[in-house]
Amino acid sequence: METLCKRILEEGRALSSTVLKVDSFLNHQVDPKLMYEIGTDFKNYFKDRGITKIFTIESSGIAPTVMTAMQMDLPMVTLKKQKGRNLDGDVYQTTVHSFTKGSDYELTLSAKYITKEDNILIIDDFLANGEAALGAARLVEEAGAKVAGIGIVIEKSFQPGHDMIMSKGYDLYSLARISKLEEGLIEFVK
């Protein structure tokens, strides 16, 4: 997606060979017009897949996911990184390792927001090692539902997540694919 790649180059900051800061438009301050364009792109790619719900992981995936859900006129479900006291009833849980935080967390889905008939689109802000997206897919499949596809805003293609997701047979669609990061350098897959 050309608009997104341009914003990454203009405002993104490569802090190291693995860390890209895009907090000025994606995950601290959010540009709603860009999120709308992202939602449009995901809608156009996934529109004929029979999707019934769109899932994301709290919290940085919420903005692009809500815009996609709004445009596809579908419910959006946020997977929680911890089971809160107000999350009642049956839940599905799986352990996920966060590349960003360097720690594990329990990804949680309330059973009341998924059925065996659901065909789920998973959207997330970043793809690095694939742990978060694959954790979300595990929850969907544990509930007996189907993963229609995985949409990623920014993929770090030089890390193993892309290959891990593809090896599982999921339809992966990433809007910006980064081939290399170094302090002060951002390159995209050509």
| Residue stretches of the annotated binding site for xanthine | 20, 27, 156
**How far is Cα 17 from Cα 71, in angstroms, rounded to an integer?**
35
Give the burial class of 23: count Cβ atoms within 10 A of its Cβ; 0-12 exposed, 13-18 middle, 19 or more buried.
middle
Binding-site residue set for 5-phospho-alpha-D-ribose 1-diphosphate: 128-132
Q: Helices 2-11 and 32-46: crossing angle, nearest 10°?
A: 140
Q: Return the structure tokens found at 140.
A: 């969907």
CA–CA separation, 168 and 138 (whole Å): 11
What residues are designated binding site? Answer: 20, 27, 128-132, 156
Rounded Cα distance, 123 and 147, in Å: 11
